[in-house]
Structure 1
Amino acid sequence: MQIQRMELPQGGESAREKLYIRCLKGAYQIADQSIQIGENTLIRFDTYFNACPIEKWLLYTTIPDLSFHARMRGSGILRLYGVSGLPDGGCEKKLLSARRIESDDEQNVELELWNKTEGTQMRGVFYAEIETGEDGQCVISECTYDTSAAPLREISLTVAICTYRREKYLERNLKLIKEQLWENRTSVLCHKIRVVVADNGRTLGEERCEPWLKICPNKNAGGAAGFARGMLETMREGHATHVLLMDDDVEVKPSALEKTYTLLSLLKEEHTDRMVGGAMLRSDYTFVQQESGGSYQNGKIRSLHRGLDLREAENIWCNEKDERADYNAWWYCCIPISVIREKGFPLPVFLHCDDVEYGLRSGREPIRMNGICVWHDAFEQKRPSVNEYYDVRNALIVNGLYVTGYSSRQAFAMVIRRTLVNLFRYRYRDIRLVTRAVEDYLRGPQWLMDVDAEQLHGELMRAGYRYSETFCGKLPDRAHTQLADILAGRSNSSNIDKKKLLSLNGWFLPARRGKPVPVMAGESPHCYYRKKKVWIYDPDTQLGFYTGKEVRQLFILLGEWLRLGFRLKKEYAAVQSAYRSAFPEMTSMEFWNQYLREKGE
């Protein structure tokens, strides 16, 4: 049984070629899924897509052995290595097997890497390398890692995609699934995959439904409702064992779904209730990982293995190190149907924190593995105003459910932090949205279940800032420093220099007058220090809005703090208890069936 096959870069992937293959000397060419290796060349596959994470396969599955297969011709040496990390941060590298190839005819090469009878517990990852001499050339194709194990269970996989008027991205992914998986006779998912699309924009129609595809016009109640609809439809059909939640605008490799399917079929019994999570790689710097699972620590979200440059060999085995993850984001998250039956459906929170809450509810760490990933736009430079509302309201709900002893005092401290950061960034409308988030949270769970989520979202969008204006001057070129900041882990977060914090980031000091200064939406509050006027913009669209320092807003904020602090102290405990009591109803199939009905149905 094949558990992994060689991946090669396709057209347009030059920036991320080192995610597939690493050339230490010499030259090579890729043609027809083969690698033509020139004279005096050394290439390695210790890469994100082609290193085999043996430690994870042995931890989660029942494979009794592992071998490497390839088709080769020409002259060269094939070597197989194992590499694992050491406590001091270094790595241990071991030669596992080697074979010299001298043949003008193509031959099948098989090298045994590990066998359970040997009693050796393998760690880290395996990878292959090929080296040619001064007069040698070589062609290699169809490299695979194989095991003699047979699948333990039959897997039926349904991909549930939530979309809202993103036809271009959706069509791309539907075409990929159809042509490279459903219709591909060489794929393990040939006629073994189904797609359910929750069409929140109601623009696709139902006439396109095919044997592998079902399009469901859906109430626009956010991503949570779209994924809940995908779960509902999957369970109604009754044949799927797993539902894979996936965003509509991601770029995904067919191999990610194939590896997920193979992994699920081989899982040990004690791991069959685990989700399988896909990492997010950035779509701007396509070799940089944004997140591989996340942790939730006392109400704060932390992205794991963030900012790793996956072109670097040492980061490949570092990325396989287990670091406790509480959830995996729903840009790619495969959930067993048995878990949905036991744990229920998402909370009706529209967007943000629905995936965090569900991961905490499941209580099991998601399985993550190199090569199971998507590419997606990074979020830090977007900062739409509406997110402030959902981030605060939903965090209050989740913290009250899962953070032991979470009190009104802690809730108020969170609100102060969020409003201060918005004050530092001159985003006064966002402060009002934070206030509304607290007020709506205090309305309780019945209000959340009854509110017209689509109408509410429209009101919130109108209340926030719109990136709609252009800038007259010249925008700064941040490309050369932005990547360095990402790789160094310098975050555009709310961290403020202590000296600047003493002056409330310049609010107690006179502002420097001058023309409006352009600031990217996700930049640190440092960039606003003592600025009189700014133009906040999205670097992708280069549209933004003008704002600036208004001293009266500080006094308005102080009044809001007094009011919200009083309300939280008075009402928080009772509301928190109400959410806990209503939780079983809010996450039930009966609730979601009723919630997703349109008016008049």
Structure 2
Amino acid sequence: MSTVMTELPTATWRTVARVVLPLDSGSDDLPLYVDYDHTVSSGGDSAGRAGQDADKQAEASASAQQTFSVHQEGRAENIVGRSGLKVDAHSRVSFGTYFNAFPASYWRRWTTATAVRLQVELDAPGTVTVYKSNARGLRQRVVSRQVTPGQPFSVELSLASFGDGGWYWFDLSAGAEEASLRQAFWQVTDGAGADAESLSAPEPATLSIAVTTFNRPDYCLALLKALSEADGVRAVLDEVLIMDQGTQLVADQPGFDEVARALGPQLRIVRQGNLGGSGGFSRGMRETLAAGRSDYVLLLDDDIIVEPEGILRALQFAQSCRRPTIVGGHMFDMFDRSVLHSFGERIDKYRFFWGSVSGVRERHDLAAQNLRATPYMHKRVDVDYNGWWMCLIPIEIVREIGLSLPVFIKWDDAEYGLRAAEAGYPTVSLPGAAVWHVSWLDKDDGTDWQAYFHERNRLVAALLHSPYDKGGRIFAESVSTDLKHLISMQYSTEELRLMALRDVLSGPEHLLRVLPTRTADVRAARKEFPDAQVSTDVEAFPTPRLRKPPKRGKEPSAPRYAVLPLWAAATVLRHLREPSPESRVRPEQHVAAMDSRWWRLANYDSAVVSTADGTAASWYRRDPKVFRDLARRSAAAHRELFVRWDDLAYRYRQALTEFTSPEAWDTVFAEQTHSITRPGVEPATAGTER
């Protein structure tokens, strides 16, 4: 089938994506919307060599890619509202960008759409050139046409060739005079040759938005304001549910009353005890389910900046899917707005750990390397789950598989994606739907109080979903991670991991029982250890003095794999011996957070270590007695976990429907609810205060 199609006479076309420009023309996210950089890629030899494994082929493909660049500075002053753009005379801009190109392969794979129509309207004449790409990132010119005002450009395009990847986009160029885009949009139809009734547009779907917040009232209010001003979203919105679990309430923020009046009955605030992200989002799912109005519930983090058009795109995509499908958005860095964290997430089920899909580059800067010059972004990326910074879930999926695991934080989104997949419901991370979120790179939540949740929830998820005997590699990784924390003098972290192991071993009944209280227990247990006691005062610690100079003047480095067993044995023996007396009164070194690797900290008797965000530091001190006690308890707990793995897996899987059911969660909500209000509605008619 050719790319350009003749118009389908009986087709009903439905707008699924409008070409948009930044809400804030002064921000640095312009390259995500319109591209003034003419960089393109030659693609790469994705076939690789015969006999190469997938990773080797990916490396070969990357090395074969070439880019050709003619750089041109962006002109934010040429933006006219949300949909208009002026193009200077003798200039060309491309809409082959993250937010404005059409992700054809995703529509081809997951939806009933068989064709897409591009419509472009100009206020001043220009030339519209349409391109497509394939899964290797190679571009192909489809059609080019001069367009004059009053005569919109329209072309129907087939989706047949996008089985493995590829996008559509268009460029706009001006001749001797300025060109000016008025608006453009992408539309889909469900097929050709069918009867008119089968091609009719589906009934409009609606959604509820669930936001969980804890002591981030300023961020949350900004999000509410953005939603209140998004007319397109308001038209499909049943309500915004704010699960406020903190002590600094969004309702107490200056300006809240104005936003509440603007949203009116579309805003509902649930005040409840701090049940974490899983408790907040489960409450949003539950309230949406109980209301019985919405087709979807959209989960949003509180500390985000939202692109409202992405919400509408996710809803349109989900409504077009062949089967109920979870549709997630990508995450950009709030403080480095053109940087995409990951293009798709998966679970390595042998390790049972999350990470980017193979071939996806993490923290990709689209201002430095645009979509057209990034071949990996043209291959369709299929995911296991999508983070709950932005995730649209059909209510029928919630009705069938239940709410989140009651795990407070960590692994709730990943486990839900795995659970949905096992029930036959896929997850799609949809390009063009995204939020900006505070980066997690300046955090080290694997060593602070969240270490408990990392360990416990990963083990629970593996017990529920791992297809491998004894969970595959997770057991060995848990043991080695314990050892790394011990030789790093991170005794508080190890205590929390042992607490997590004890809870896992106690069985699934503990999940709901400890949900409201475990965070306080974890914080209390941790503060007893020196490595958890931080100070923001740089003068709080004695001046470091290294007792021995580095061997051969070289800084410690990671041991080679061949000598790792011997290195580990010698290091453990060293940590069982008494430290030098001087190290008890003076640290040997000050170690920056980025350098606080286990193989480095293992060499010291004591060290001052900075926190990941750089605001404070703590004094790690080696203690053979504590080391010995924690190591003994770790060995005993892991021995029990190994012996009981099969029985525990059976028990957790049997109980899954019980501890994720709305009825089970209702018992927690009943005890933790403080109030439910509609602040934008007069009290006499609100009828929902409790």
TM-score, length of structure 2 as denominator length: 0.74
Q: Which residue of 2 aligns with 1:476?
A: none
Counterpart position of 2:521: 459
Q: Residues 466, 10 of structure 1: CA spacing in aligned structure 2 closer, same or farther, 3 A cutoff?
A: farther
Q: Secondary structure at the match of 2:28?
A: helix
State the match for 2:365 in structure 1.
309
Matches within 5 A, 1:249-288: 249-268=303-322, 271=323, 273-288=324-339
Please state whether the residue corresponding to 1:288 is helix, strand or coil. Answer: strand
Question: How far, CA to CA, are the matches of 2:275 and 2:394 in structure 1?
Answer: 24
* TM-superposition CA deviations, 1:29-80 (whole Å, max 9, x none): 3232232222332221211111111222233333353332223244542211
Equivalent residue letter for 1:308: H
Query: What is the correspondence of 1:316-395 to structure 2 with a 5 Å cutoff?
Result: 318-363=376-421, 364-384=425-445, 385-395=448-458
Query: In structure 2, what is the equivalent of residue 246 of structure 1?
Result: 300
Q: Deviations over 1:333-359 (max 9, x none)?
A: 111111111111222111111111111
Q: 2:33 touches 2:99 (CA, 8 Å); kept in 1?
A: yes
Q: How many residues align?
A: 562
- 1:536 alignment counterpart: 609
Shift of 1:570: 4.9
Q: Which amino acid aligns with 2:78?
A: I
Q: Which of 88, 96, 102 lines up with 1:52 in the alignment?
A: 102
Q: 1:599 to 1:126 in 2, by over 3 A?
A: closer
Structure 2: segments with no counterpart, 5+ residues: 1-13, 38-70, 191-199, 527-531, 541-556, 675-690
Quick one: distance in 1 between partners of 2:672 and 2:355? 39
Q: How many Å separate the matches in 2 of 1:115 and 1:409?
A: 44
1:235 partner letter: L
Matched, 1:198 2:243: yes
Q: Contact 2:227 / 2:233 at 8 angstroms: preserved in 1?
A: no
Q: Is the contact between residue 383 and residue 522 of structure 1 (CA under 8 Å) also seen in structure 2?
A: no
Q: Note the C-alpha offset of 1:577.
A: 3.0
- Write out per-residue CA displacement over residues 300-321 of structure 1, whole angstroms, 9 at most, x where no aligned residue: 2223333333332246663353
Distance 1:495 1:257, change over 3 A: farther
Q: Which stretch shifts more, 379-388 or 504-513?
A: 504-513
Distance 2:640 2:472 in 1: 11
Rounded to whole Å, the distance in 1 between the matches of 2:115 and 2:354 is 38
Is the aligned partner of 1:419 residue 2:482?
yes
Higher mean displacement: 354-363 or 316-325: 316-325
What is the CA distance between 1:9 and its match in structure 2? 2.8
Is the 1:278–1:332 contact (alpha carbons within 8 Å) kept by the matching residues of 2?
yes
The structure-2 alpha-carbon separation of the partners of 1:192 and 1:568, relative to structure 1 and needing over 3 Å to count, comes to: closer
Instruction: Give how far 1:255 is off.
Output: 0.8
Matched, 1:111 2:154: yes
| Cα distance in 2, alignment partners of residues 441 and 22 from structure 1 | 51
Contact kept in structure 1, 2:233 and 2:308, CA below 8 Å:
no
Shift of 1:372: 1.0
Q: Which secondary structure state, in structure 1, belongs to the residue aligned with residue 116 of structure 2?
A: strand
Instruction: Provide the C-alpha distance between the structure 1 equivalents of 2:221 and 2:569, rounded to a whole number of angstroms.
Output: 46
CA 496–4 in structure 1, closer or farther in 2 if over 3 Å, else same: farther
Alpha-carbon distance change, 470 to 99 in structure 1, aligned in 2, over 3 angstroms: farther
Amino acid in the other structure paired with 2:407: V
Distance 2:315 2:642 in 1: 49
Contact 1:506 1:530 (C-alpha < 8 Å) held by counterparts: no
Aligned to 1:214: 268
TM-score, normalising length: structure 1: 0.84
Higher Cα radius of gyration: 2
Corresponding position of 1:72? 122
Q: Which residue of the other structure, out of 185, 189, 197, is the alignment partner of 1:144?
A: 185
The superposition leaves residues 412-447 of structure 1 with CA deviations (integer Å, 9 ceiling, x where unpaired) of: 423212213323543211011111110111121223
The offset of 1:564, in angstroms, is 1.9
| Aligned CA distance change for structure 1 residues 242 and 258 (closer, same or farther; 3 Å) | same
Q: 2:167 aligns with which of 102, 125, 129?
A: 125
1:597 deviates by 1.9
Moved more, 44-53 or 298-307: 298-307
How far apart, in 1, do the equivalents of 2:559 and 2:127 lie?
A: 55
Q: What SS class does the counterpart of residue 577 from structure 1 fall into?
A: helix
Q: Could you say what secondary structure the match of 2:153 adopts?
A: strand
- In 2, Cα distance between the equivalents of 1:335 and 1:100? 42
The residue type paired with residue 610 of structure 2 is Y
Percent identity between the two aligned chains:
23
Query: Which SS does the other structure have where 1:165 is aligned?
Result: coil
Q: 1:215-267 CA deviation, whole Å, 9 max, x = no partner?
A: 11123222111111111110111111111111111221001101112212323
563-572 vs 437-446, greater mean Cα deviation: 563-572
Task: Name the amino acid aligned to 1:137.
Answer: E
CA drift of 1:387 comes to: 1.7
Following TM superposition, the consecutive aligned residue runs of length 4 or more in structure 1 with deviations greater than 6 angstroms are: 508-514
- Deviation, 1:386, is 1.8
Matches of 1:16 and 1:250 in 2, distance apart? 15
Measure how far apart 1:448 and its partner are. Answer: 2.5
Q: State whether residues 516 and 532 of structure 1, in contact with CA within 8 Å, keep that contact through their aligned partners in structure 2.
A: no
Moved more, 565-574 or 433-442: 565-574
Give the 3 Å change call, closer, same or farther, for CA 73–337 of structure 1 in structure 2: closer
Deviation at 1:142, TM superposition (A): 1.2
Change (3 A) 1:422 1:257: same
What CA distance in whole angstroms lies between the structure 2 residues aligned with 1:3 and 1:503? 58
Query: Do 1:347 and 1:587's aligned partners in 2 also have CA atoms closer than 8 Å?
Result: yes
Q: 1:74 to 1:497 in 2, by over 3 A?
A: farther
After superposition, the Cα gap between the structure-2 partners of 1:472 and 1:32, relative to the gap in structure 1 and judged at 3 Å, is: farther
For residue 469 of structure 1, the aligned residue among 490, 513, 536 is 536
Deviates more, 1:64-73 or 1:585-594: 64-73
Q: 229, 235, 240: which one pairs with 1:179?
A: 229
Amino acid in structure 1 at the alignment position of 2:593: M
Structure 2 counterpart of 1:23, from 13, 36, 39: 36
1:544-590 Cα shifts (integer Å, max 9, x gaps): 32324555554344323332234324544443333223222111121
- Contact in 1 for aligned 2:120/2:153 (Cα 8 Å): yes
Letter in 2 for 1:372: A
1:579 to 2:652 alignment: yes
- Once the two structures are TM-superposed, the CA of residue 191 in structure 1 deviates from its matched residue by 5.2
- In the TM superposition, residue 407 of structure 1 has moved relative to its aligned partner by 2.2
Conservation of the 8 A alpha-carbon contact between 1:85 and 1:92: yes
Aligned with 1:370: secondary structure?
strand
- Residues 382 and 428, structure 2, Cα contact 8 Å, conserved in 1: no
Provide the rounded CA distance (Å) in 1 between the counterparts of 2:241 and 2:29. 31
Between the aligned partners of 2:225 and 2:569, the Cα distance in structure 1 is 50
CA distance in 2, matches of 1:276, 1:466: 42
Q: 1:516 to 1:549 in 2, by over 3 A?
A: same
Give, as a single letter, the amino acid of the residue that structure 2 aligns with 1:198: M
Higher relative contact order (CA 8 A, sep 6+): 2
Alpha carbons of 1:146 and 1:600: their partners in 2 closer, same or farther (altered >3 Å)? closer
Q: CA deviation at 1:26?
A: 5.5
RMSD of aligned residue pairs (Cα, Å): 3.3
What corresponds to 2:24 in structure 1?
Answer: 11
3-state SS in 2 of match to 1:414? helix
